[in-house]
Structure 1
Amino acid sequence: MRMLMVAVAATLLVGCAGSAMNQARTQAPYKTLTSDKPQQVVAECVQFSWQDEAVFGVDAGAYLQPGKTGGMTVYTRSAESFVDLQTSASGTALNYYARHDDFVAKRRLAALATCL
Structure 2
Amino acid sequence: MNRFFSRFQSASFQFALALVINLIAWIIIFVQIRPGREVIPLHYNIFYGPDIFGRGYFLYIIPLVGLCVLTANFFFYRYSLNREKFAARSAVAVALTLQALILVSVFALKQLIVI
The two structures have a TM-score, normalised by structure 1, of 0.29
Decide which structure has greater strand share.
1
**By percentage of residues, which structure has more helix?**
2
| TM-score normalised by the chain length of structure 2 | 0.29
Higher Cα radius of gyration: 2
